[in-house]
Amino acid sequence: MVNNIINHDCLQFLQDYQGRSFDITFFDPPFNQNKEYNSYDDAKNPHLYWNWITKILKLISNNTTTGGAIYFMQREKNTKLVMDSLEKSGWRYQNLIIWKKKTSAVPGKKRFGKHYQIIAFYTKGDRPRLFNRLRIDPPLKPNEKIPRESGVYLTDVWDDIRELTSGYYAGDEAYRNSDGSRFHKQQTPISLLTRIILSSSLPGDIVFDPFAGTGTTLIVSKQLQRDYLGLEIDSTNIKLILSRLSIIRKSDNISKIREIYKYTNNLIDIWSIEKEFKERKFVTQSSANLNLFTRN
């Protein structure tokens, strides 16, 4: 069952699941904000929605190794509901990560413009089974005159990863329909998943994604030699994920991100260069054009 993407409802799937326990889960459900989805009602009664989320979180916890991690991504306005649902389903708090988008915020008329999303990092039990302390080397601020010798430890504020917006900055990574619109409005950047998976897993661990969307978690897991299991309810997305996994596009190739973590002490253990994916063929964006996947 591992290294698989399954076209199924995640709640139903988890109720019967008897496979290997998950070491890390990336949890990025539909936000319930009336977004357009093919196979899903994104405007549920909020009470029903959060009950549904809590049930899924509980089943994931039942199927997670002791100390295994979950990263739950949501809008900041739902922070309390995210934390309540994780705590009710037995998960233990580690961090509330602020993902400050590199894009500019839309100015608010009656409140501050919103500039970040949250990622709640919890574990099964008080102690993480492992935590890799990543080091990065962000540009020096004007008041920091002395260059660092070996970067700094990553904190809970991540402001160096750009979201895949609909405009120019989305670049090649965002899948598009033939009219230029984005194929999936919630496609997560590969840089974000690389950071999460590197922090809380080792090669050979199993990464779970119950709401796989465009399969970002699986694409990154595969390149980092983690095993993966993804679920997605929409068969059009499944088609895309299978293609995305079969030939890794240049824009999905994570080797370019490795440099960012070069000061991490155990980088060689968590991102083994010898076994890296580089011998595989990468395709350019034009030959992997998503016109193939145009939605009906």
- Count of positions on this chain that bind ligand SAM (CB under 6 A): 23
Residue 216 makes contact with ligand SAM by CB under 6 A: yes
Contact stretch for ligand SAM (CB under 6 A) within 29-37, 82-90, 119-127, 263-271: 29-37
> What percent of the residues of the chain are helix, what percent strand, and what percent coil, each to the nearest 5?
30, 20, 50
CA distance 85 to 50: 7
191 binds ligand SAM per the rule CB under 6 A? no
Bridge partners (DSSP) listed for residue 214: none
Sign of CA dihedral 278, 284, 285, 289: negative
By CB under 6 A, tell whether 188 contacts ligand SAM.
yes
CB-hemisphere CA count at 13 Å for 91? 31
Which lies closer to ligand SAM via its Cβ, residue 252 or residue 264? 252
Tracing tokens 């190739």 back to the chain, one arrives at 253
Task: Using CB under 6 A, pick the residue from 124, 129, 176, 184 that binds ligand SAM.
Answer: 184
In angstroms, give the least distance from the CB of 5 to ligand SAM. Answer: 11
Q: Are 151 and 259 in contact (CB under 8 A)?
A: no
| Candidate residues 61, 214, 223, 253; the one interacting with ligand SAM per rule CB under 6 A | 214
C-beta of 25 vs 132, nearer to ligand SAM: 25
**Choices 22-30, 123-131, 198-206, 262-270; region in contact with ligand SAM by CB under 6 A:** 22-30
- Quick check: 197 binds ligand SAM (CB under 6 A)? no
Please give the sequence-ordered ranges of beta strands (E in DSSP) within the chain, or none if there are none: 4-7, 22-27, 64-75, 91-100, 116-124, 135-136, 152-153, 157-158, 206-209, 227-232
CB nearer ligand SAM, residue 83 or residue 193:
193
Q: Are 251 and 173 in contact (CB under 8 A)?
A: yes
Out of 63, 74, 237, 253, which residue is the one contacting ligand SAM (CB under 6 A)?
237
Cα-based distances in Å from 17 to 1, 11, 21, 236, 277:
10, 10, 10, 24, 30
> Is residue 233 a contact residue for ligand SAM (CB under 6 A)?
yes
Q: 228: which 2 tokens?
A: 């993966």
Asked if residue 219 binds ligand SAM (CB under 6 A), the reply is: no
Shortest reach from residue 154's CB to ligand SAM, in Å: 21
> Rule CB under 6 A: is residue 10 a binding residue for ligand SAM?
yes
Based on the shown chain and the rule CB under 6 A, indicate whether residue 128 belongs to the binding site for ligand SAM: no
Let me know if 110 is exposed, middle or buried by CB neighbors in 10 A (0-12, 13-18, 19+).
exposed
Q: Please give the backbone phi and psi of residue 290, each rounded to the nearest 5 degrees, phi first.
A: -85, 5
Identity of the residue, 73 or 260, whose beta carbon is nearer to ligand SAM in the bound complex? 73
Residue 173 sits in the site that holds ligand SAM (CB under 6 A): no
Q: Is 186 in the site for ligand SAM (CB under 6 A)?
A: yes
Q: Which stretch binds ligand SAM (CB under 6 A): 75-83, 86-94, 107-115, 212-220?
A: 212-220
Q: Residue 177: beta bridge partners?
A: none
Calpha distance 98→155 (Å, rounded): 10
Q: Which is nearer to ligand SAM, 211 or 271 (CB)?
A: 211
User: C-alpha angle 36/38/39, rounded to 5°?
Assistant: 120
Taking the complex as a whole, how short is the minimal distance between the CB of residue 60 and ligand SAM, in angstroms?
12
List residues binding ligand SAM (CB under 6 A). 9-11, 28-30, 37, 39-40, 184, 186-188, 210-211, 213-214, 216, 231-234, 237
